[in-house]
Structure 1
Amino acid sequence: MSAPQEPTAESPTEPAAESQSRSAQLPAVTAILTAYHPDERLAAVVESALADCARVIIADNTPAGSPSLASKLDDPRIEVIAIGSNLGLGGALNLAVKQLPQDAQAVLLLDQDSVLPEGLIPGLAAHLRDEPTIGVAAPTPWDAKHEKFYNVGAGLHDSTVDREAVITSGMLVRRELIDRIPFREDLFNDFVDIAFCVDVRRTGARIVQDYRIKLPHSMGDRREHKVGPLTVRVIHYPAWRHYWIARNGMRFAMDNVRKHPLGFLPMAVFLGRKFVSTTLFEPDRRHHLPALTRGVRDGVMNRAAARYLPEGANPPGLRIKNRSDIKG
């Protein structure tokens, strides 16, 4: 009887062969990355995505005339769409979706500061491969600075849970869904992800979040404040972001009031907490509270204030009061 063969590169061990077979069955992924005046982290984000993506499309919202590091990336697998103005998150994503290659079976959405840990894309892609009812798979946002989860209770167990909505950065979406469902350009920035997830769920597709997969991500300036013996964690934003959070939160609730009449209640609680935390913990409350108040009013009236748009902003589909005040 001959001796058993040693495994070689041409004759892999059975576990290795099984691993290769599973990887081959994963959907082909293209990443879409939105950028606005990106810093040096952009190259690291793109490099981490290319480890498992065949292609990266960068929708660059940096206004024309301003330098952008996106233009310096030199790799045939990278396509940069130099928009020339800031269309907002929804507008940039919709432009990038039109450039998806035909062979892309799933799309990974990324922000310019989210470097992917090893194994994130295969881990999320396995959910789409193994369960046809799942339309979106997402990691769990991780605050690397404070070494804490953003989602309450995320660290209590290791599992995958169904969610009503997840944030844009890190979500992996089936191609057929992203082709059918446009991102809302009139929301400019905040609540674009929530509105998209609501539309996904209306198709009958599931949205899952894997607590075992962490994505380092920055959601504003997270600080801890002492209130007696208690520690309160508050995410601080600039005043213009507070405006859009309030404006789009109210707009989103009003747009869905017919299908979800009770939707105003959680939104009222959310915005109420935002007003309270801003009043108690925001040093520059004299600018932030008017921004929140104006945002609620403009959300009700379905319009937007030019003064709260960043430089070079030109969002389509928005009724903007005093558009001539937009900078850039």
Structure 2
Amino acid sequence: MSEGDGTASSKLSEDFNLRASLMEKLPLEIKRRVRALKKLQYETVKVDVAFYKELFELEMKYDVEHQRIFNQRKAIVNGEKEPDDNECDWPSDDEHPTADGDDVDKLCNEVDKKAIVMEENNKGVKGIPEFWLQTMRNVSLLDEMIQEHDVKILKHLTDVECKLHSDEPGFTLEFHFSQNEFFTNKVLTKRYFFNYDISPDEPFEYEGPEIVSTKGCVINWNPGKNVTVKVIKKVQKKKGGQAKRTITKNVQEDSFFNFFDPPALKDLADFKLGQFIRDSIVPRAVLFFTGEEVAEDSDDEDGDEDEDDDDEEEEDEEDAEVSFV
């Protein structure tokens, strides 16, 4: 803890002790009334619980309409449907912003030339190739999770859906993939469960339902294609000039697909990521794809420490043969 943190913590402790001291000095009649107010406060928390439960039911009601729209989006993205003129009746993103100067005109001309070349190269292409990969890469939090060896797999990602649970509070994120050489699953899932319980220890901290656990899925990797585990083979020399021996060990590899193998313990960062995908990525995918929507960067704590660990691991793997399981 830094000196500044210690000072702030000490100040908070002093403030708390001061307030507690003032409460103790209040007349008994006022203390009694304060207890009555706290009981009323608890009643408002119970009303909040009822509100959030009903809000979830309302979400489920309108989720039917959302899914209808998302199915249309999926059809266009995957080339199953070509939108007609009426469906494309929306202001074009190709219009250049008004600005002065030759540099702007030159830049616009260059963009137009590149667009013509891309249009020629993409003739006959259906849908919007790599829509979800690009959408995810435009979100810094997800882009940090995606490794180079993940990219070729995520090119097969055809849709991301969120299904609300009707039997228990929670939701499931579904990642749909086209047939590929990496795994046999058509859909990878991540389930999130939350409850509406009021904490008996801190009832006034209630701010709505909280995610309390997650459940991933088993990815059926094809042989040699599991990018979440790397096999390190290293030749070790024995003392006295004896014959060499090969040591093999499996090491977990950084990969986006570790997302589907959540930690056994509660992970607040994982909970927040799932909630973010549900609330923002799924319903507003096109805006992340175009770059119009920008997510706030998460705190990169212990970044330097992680980099140091990576360097040490790389040193250990020098002269070693590395492959995937």
What TM-score do the two structures reach when normalised by structure 1?
0.24
Where is the strand percentage greater, Structure 1 or Structure 2?
1
Q: Which has the higher helix share?
A: 2
- Largest Rg, 1 or 2: 2
